[in-house]
A and B are shown apart, each in its own frame.
Chain A
Amino acid sequence: MQINSHLKQLEDEGIYIMREVAAQFERPVLLFSGGKDSIIMVHLALKAFYPAKIPFPLMHVDTGHNFPETIEFRDKLVRETGVELIVGSVQKSIDDGKVKEETGPDASRNALQTVTLLDTLKEHQVDAALGGGRRDEEKARAKERFFSHRDGFGQWDPKNQRPELWNLYNGRKNPGEHFRVFPISNWTEMDVWQYIAQEEIDIPSLYFAHERKVFNRRGVWLADTEYVNRMDEESLEKKTVRFRTIGDATCTGAVLSTASKMEEIIQEVAAARQTERGNRHDDKRSETAMEDRKRQGYF
């Protein structure tokens, strides 16, 4: 009897859950951010439904503050896989007066995404949104189910979750409610990188070391973009950096790194002393920032 490697087991589990979603729901979408986790999700979906195409669209909630590399990568992936793409625009939510742009130096559209996300899900009558969230990322996510129920307002009730046993995933719900489904719940950051290396998956260049103009804000290296309000005392420096996570340019910090090859990145992850989201400003707003946002319907 052969024993499968941990990556093979995680892959099999992910594929199983993708198929459960396709089978149990009528209008699922795959939430796509352009980050490595959602790229892995697309890779798993391609495997799950081969030789057929992915039977659901990708949905990207675009803050309008993305790195251009992310958008380029997204469009290329869509072209190559032939998958449908739905874009929910935070700019449109602002223009429609549904949300108000934050002001000040730390202004970010991160929190505003929740409204755009819920509106876009509603508009397309989505009943299951596949996400690349992992339990090792953040303490609130450690409590997340694979099939995570959301009420009619898109809200999460963490204290009252359905028990999830064996490989039986209960996706039953009332009209208007939906599910968030996390096929790579059991993956760690290390698993993700190892899998990307093993499968030779293409990822945005932002993950590899490159030179970039950055400035330091409370210990986090932020990229100089038109979306970030840089203060006068925050001086620009040219550094060799890479990103461990990719999100909105206003809240995703870079790390100083010369890792330009996959091997080097894995080495770096293995030796890391900080969590992956340690340079995410969005998580640092309060101790339960993630749980609070998730309750309201965030990713």
Chain B
Amino acid sequence: MTGTQNLKLNTEHLKLRIKLFMNNNGEQYDSKKYLDMDLLRFTTAGSVDDGKSTLIGRLLYDSKSIFEDQLEAIEKTSRSSGEEEVNLALLTDGLKAEREQKITIDVAYRYFATPKRKFIIADTPGHIQYTRNMVTGASTAELAIVLIDATKGVLTQSKRHAFISSLLQIPHLVVAVNKMDLVDYSEDRFNEIVQDFRTFAKKLEIDNITYIPISALVGDNVVDKNGKTSWYKGPTLLHHLENVKVDASHNVVDFRFPVQYVIRPNQNFRGFSGRIESGRIRPGDEITVLPSKLSSKVKEIVTRDGNLDEAFPGDSVVLTIEDEIDISRGDMIVRKNNVPKVTSNFEAYLCWMNEEEMQPGKQYMLMHTTSTTAVYVDDVIYRMNVDTLRREDAETLKLNEIGRVKLTTAKPLFMDAYQVNQRTGSFIVIDAASNVTVGAGMIRATSTESRESETADVKRETGSTHKLESKTKHSPNVVWEPWNIPKEDREKRNGHKAQVLWFTGISGAGKSTIAKALEKKLWGSGKQTILLDGDQVRHGLNGDLGFSPEDRTENIRRVGEMARLFFEHGNIVLCTFVSPYQRDRDAVRKLFPEARFVEIHVTCNPETAHQRDPKGLYEKAKKGEIKDLTGFDGEYQAPEHAELVINTDEMDVDEAVETIINKFAAD
């Protein structure tokens, strides 16, 4: 159907119709406006039959990104190859072989800009044998356009594109239902396709799907609306592209700085260059260097344009640090209290990209952030049928196949789950003999899974081997399965965020009293809550534990894990535990995203607590019946960085509850 593939346009026609965005609004191009422009990288997937080339041609041409000489050239080529109309696919199919075979072989990158935004299109071929190109194009995209032919409906191929977009965690998906002109702009047909796609998309991990009825050929709802789809109230495609939130895939919480290259112009300067892959950093922030686990502080954030007060995801900078620590390429600078997983055993989704099939047990090279190491693929757990989304048994992966695999690296990697952090969760596999990139992987384990690195931290800080270590080191190969219902969905239904409020303080300080009143208030306003209390837990789950420092630590560890389960369930979790040791509280803190764990120090004059003595413990201690009572003869390490301190000598219960709600539990 060449008529639908090609725009019915000749050069003269185009010359007349080419619209200058700057003239659309009747204003001159303001060369200073570009300072406000941002950037959206998106990928388009679909075959020529879906009208993909026409759509791209339409976007390029309506945004004045096709030049006359380009148009003349493709017009000439179209004519000489016997085509009646200008074949806009020739704009993207630049290689001789592509032009000869009239197929797209490789990802092509195209560019256009409007006064609002610059766009980079990774245009990927839609043929089945080119899954690897789709994965490649999707790896840098923040939005994917899946084209559906309105006359054909949701085909296997559309599903495959959507699945790959989901696998690569592209935050925005646009389902462009094309060729609406061929179905008489039928609203029913559009709704039918949307319904079909929705049913399928439930299996995917994509939150943001926008459905737009378009005709790329005629131009409906691509740049302008033309009234033929008056039932459609949404944005045009370009309007959506111009306004969709960018940087949605950036992780702004977990600071990760893989060191690229050490900059050392003279003996007085030693800087570590790299790009902030996630999180943010300021001078003075405490950092830890992996793998050495040595800690220091950021001294300066250096750039040629002056030192920075703060740096953000994506910034290429140079960090200098306070202490002389040996740091080289492949090391990672992170925050002291927020470290990635450090391991050489993990599971991942692997997309195989080479004609030579993957050989389990063969040594490959693996590149992850700025680090390269040897790797074995130990096992293929299953192969994903990208058309049916079914899991299939497989011994290996062939070209364009995607599977879940187990890997072992020679050197430990500093990783996060791809879901949480694309930059520290992605890797490529390289054939050591041919040096060719043969695979692309997305790590499935999360940073909360194996806590080897964190136990080491605890060990170093306390200077003693701690029970926490032996309890968590058992199962390094247990991989974190994502929750069946993601927390975000539960939060949506609950109408509020999950949160952990950790009340620490000596017995009698008022933790339980405040927490109980707070929970009632939250519950009364429709929130999902749970209150975990020391006594309650010690009667059941932790009945085997006493009050030695080791047992106290294990008590808190178990409570932390339990709090995490309730947290993942979408609850506001209130925990009232004496929890006397800073390291134990910190270990719990690490289980949660930053800002979701709030440490509240409930304090009062010890005399007040002794008088209150709600459980009669101080009385017993005074008589010598119990020993090591926290707040009496046992040690209590007051929090150094509590988010909130409540002094119950000065504040009554209602005030305390109000303070906490206003500060942390408002949304």
**Inter-chain contacts of B91 with A (CB < 8 A):** 139
> Per a CB cutoff under 8 Å, which of A172, A188, A191, A275 touches B430?
A172
Q: Nearest B residue to A264 by beta-carbon distance?
A: B31
CB-CB under 8 A for A140 and B422, given A135-B111, A162-B436: no
- Chain B nearest CB from A65 CB (Å) reads 24
**Inter-chain contacts of B182 with A (CB < 8 A):** none
CB-CB under 8 A for A51 and B269, given A4-B38, A7-B34, A12-B314: yes
Cβ–Cβ contact A165 & B440, under 8 A: yes
CB-CB under 8 A for A159 and B95, given A2-B312, A287-B77: yes
Task: Give residues of chain B (243-302) contacting chain A, Cβ–Cβ below 8 Å.
Answer: 246-247, 250, 252, 260-261, 263-265, 269, 271, 273-275, 302
**Inter-chain contacts of A49 with B (CB < 8 A):** 263, 273
**Inter-chain contacts of A174 with B (CB < 8 A):** 435
**Inter-chain contacts of B252 with A (CB < 8 A):** 1
Cβ–Cβ contact A16 & B260, under 8 A: yes
**Inter-chain contacts of A168 with B (CB < 8 A):** 367-368, 426-428
> Per a CB cutoff under 8 Å, which of A3, A173, A275, A287 touches B435?
A173
Alpha-carbon distance between A273 and B117 when the two chains are bound, in angstroms: 21
A5 at the A/B interface (Cβ < 8 Å)?
yes
Cβ–Cβ contact B273 & A19, under 8 A: yes
CB-CB under 8 A for A52 and B353, given A5-B36, A23-B329, A272-B67: no
What is the number of contacts between chain A and chain B, taking CB atoms within 8 Å? Answer: 196
Cβ–Cβ contact A19 & B38, under 8 A: no
**Inter-chain contacts of A16 with B (CB < 8 A):** 260, 275, 316
- Chain A nearest CB from B282 CB (Å) reads 14
**Inter-chain contacts of A263 with B (CB < 8 A):** 31
Alpha-carbon distance between A263 and B31 when the two chains are bound, in angstroms: 7
Cβ–Cβ contact A3 & B426, under 8 A: no
B478 at the A/B interface (Cβ < 8 Å)?
no
Q: Nearest A residue to B354 by beta-carbon distance?
A: A163
Alpha-carbon distance between A251 and B315 when the two chains are bound, in angstroms: 39
**Inter-chain contacts of B73 with A (CB < 8 A):** 287
**Inter-chain contacts of B37 with A (CB < 8 A):** 5-7
Alpha-carbon distance between A47 and B303 when the two chains are bound, in angstroms: 7
B side interface size, CB within 8 A: 81
Cβ–Cβ contact A48 & B273, under 8 A: yes
Fill in one digit per residue for B474-504: 1 if any A CB lies within 8 Å of its CB, else 0. 0000000000000000000000000000000
Q: Nearest B residue to A158 by beta-carbon distance?
A: B95
B120 at the A/B interface (Cβ < 8 Å)?
yes
> Per a CB cutoff under 8 Å, which of A22, A161, A165, A186 touches B261?
A22
Interface of B is mostly: mixed
Segment of B130-138, B225-233, B584-592, B646-654 engaged in the interface with chain A:
B130-138
B641 at the A/B interface (Cβ < 8 Å)?
no
Cβ–Cβ contact A142 & B108, under 8 A: yes
Cβ–Cβ contact B370 & A163, under 8 A: no
What's the interface size class on A, roughly? 35 or more
Alpha-carbon distance between A7 and B646 when the two chains are bound, in angstroms: 48
A125 at the A/B interface (Cβ < 8 Å)?
no
Q: Nearest B residue to A169 by beta-carbon distance?
A: B367
Cβ–Cβ contact A51 & B302, under 8 A: yes
CB-CB under 8 A for A188 and B113, given A1-B247, A143-B108, A159-B105: yes
B565 at the A/B interface (Cβ < 8 Å)?
no
A101 at the A/B interface (Cβ < 8 Å)?
no
Alpha-carbon distance between A158 and B105 when the two chains are bound, in angstroms: 10
B139 at the A/B interface (Cβ < 8 Å)?
yes
CB-CB under 8 A for A48 and B316, given A159-B105, A198-B35: yes
Task: Give residues of chain A (1-39) contacting chain B, Cβ–Cβ below 8 Å.
Answer: 1-7, 9-13, 15-16, 19-20, 22-23
CB-CB under 8 A for A165 and B435, given A142-B108, A190-B113: no
A136 at the A/B interface (Cβ < 8 Å)?
yes
Fill in one digit per residue for A130-150: 1 if any B CB lies within 8 Å of its CB, else 0. 000001101111110000000
Cβ–Cβ contact B265 & A51, under 8 A: yes
Task: Give residues of chain B (343-365) contacting chain A, Cβ–Cβ below 8 Å.
Answer: 353, 365
Q: Please name 13 pairs of A and B residues whose Cβ atoms are closer than 8 Å in the assembled complex, sorted by A.
A: A5-B39, A6-B34, A48-B273, A49-B263, A139-B95, A143-B94, A143-B106, A143-B107, A172-B430, A194-B34, A287-B73, A288-B96, A291-B96
